[in-house]
Amino acid sequence: MSGVKQVTVTNEDDDIRLDRWFKRHYPELSYGRLEKLLRKGQIRLDGKRAKSNERIAAGQVVRVPPFGEDGVKPINKKEEAHLGEHEIEEVRSWVLYRDEDVIVINKPAGLPTQGGTGIKRHLDGLLHALKFDKTEKPRLCHRLDKDTSGVLVLARSAAAAAILTKAFKSKDARKLYWALTVKAPNPKDGKVFQPIAKHPSWKGERMVIDADEGQDARTLYRTIESTGNAAAWVALEPRTGRTHQLRVHCAYLKTPIQGDGKYGGQDAYLTGDGVSKKMHLHARRIQIPSPDGVGVIDVTAPIPDHMKRSWDFFGFDVKTEDADELFDLSQKVTATYKNHD
């Protein structure tokens, strides 16, 4: 069938129900029509028939039919957006690394990774600019929040996508983030092991700490520099891949990320004109085994301009020794379980 997509489940969507996966990525598809497509076998999971309540795993492939043929308006009116020369040049300028199997880009802050209701411009719709010598556009292997910038891995084939997605799921892929937090963490270095669940009554995508229903969520952190207790430059390494994990865990520490009003409210904004109100969360570095089985791909992304201005304002030096170092997983660090309420 023309227009059928084969979409690889990313690590962020691991262990969610199939119907919730469609609600997240294809919100215009009603539940009734989803059930009809499943009954007709037009939606499949790893080539097999599936049920709406079936839980999916990272690395699995969802067959997504062209909804328009079943009376459903597709989110994107065109299968492939027209990209002008200047836009292609812009997208290609984001490339930090490219080989036969992988492309790593520096995603700009403010650009959604995937489309949805009311979203016209998103990364997935721009990937045709990154085909280069391939016949197919590269595939997303994981996601970054709209307002989070930094390293993002794309697979240049279905085989590479399966290998890379498995690496994210098995924690063979390691990611280091930089954040500017309002107030400094106490203790300044540690870890947060707090389960996360979707907010039960929030209409949009919002997560909460939930010891009963939440999924395991683990974050390591260390303070690189601080300005007394007013603000801090914090390095974070997620050891699980839950939605909004770093944002929720920073808010739990009572040190929300600058610009993250969703989880920090008014406390997430430093006063004064020297610091942008944009989100200050950047995927600084990624280390992932190469799909060809030879070596490790290790890429670092420059911080965006609004964070660079904040760093200059506070006198933080991006070349600070050890700022880009991944955490030593063999060392014991202080656990943070304290209830700050």
pLDDT in tens, 216-259: 999 999 999 999 999 999 999 999 999 999 999 999 999 999 99
Question: Is 85-169 assigned to CATH 3.30.2350.10?
Answer: yes
Helix 18-25 to helix 31-39 angle, to the nearest 10 degrees?
120
Element (H, E) at 151: strand 149-155
Which residue carries 């974070």 as its tokens? 236
Per-residue pLDDT tens, the chain, 341 aa: give them: 557 888 998 877 888 899 988 887 887 788 888 999 999 999 999 999 999 999 999 889 999 998 754 444 443 434 445 788 999 999 999 999 999 999 999 999 999 998 877 788 999 999 999 999 888 899 999 999 999 999 999 999 888 998 999 999 888 999 999 999 999 999 999 999 999 998 877 667 899 999 998 999 999 999 999 999 999 999 999 999 999 999 999 999 999 999 999 999 999 999 878 899 999 999 999 999 999 999 999 999 999 999 999 999 999 999 998 999 999 887 665 545 444 33
CA-closest candidate to residue 128, choices 103, 160, 164: 103
Cα dihedral sign, 289-239-138-72: positive
Element (H, E) at 168: helix 158-169
Give 263's Cβ-side CA count (13 Å radius): 27
Q: What is the pLDDT of residue 74?
A: 44
Task: Find the Cα–Cα–Cα–Cα dihedral 138, 60, 113, 204, rounded to 10°.
Answer: 170
Element (H, E) at 309: helix 305-314
Domain with CATH 3.30.2350.10 in the chain: 85-169, 174-336
DSSP 8-state code for residue 208: E
Peptide bond before residue 187 is cis, with ω within 30 degrees of 0: yes
Element (H, E) at 165: helix 158-169
Do residues 196 and 219 lie in contact, with contact meaning Cβ atoms separated by under 8 Å?
no
Q: What is the pLDDT of residue 200?
A: 78
CATH number of 5-70: 3.10.290.10
d(C-alpha 28, C-alpha 325), whole Å: 42
d(C-alpha 270, C-alpha 182), whole Å: 7
Q: Known catalytic residues?
A: 145
Q: Could you read off the pLDDT of 297-312 as tens digits, one per residue?
A: 999 999 999 999 999 9
pTM over 0.75: yes
CATH number of 174-336: 3.30.2350.10
Q: What is the pLDDT of residue 203?
A: 67
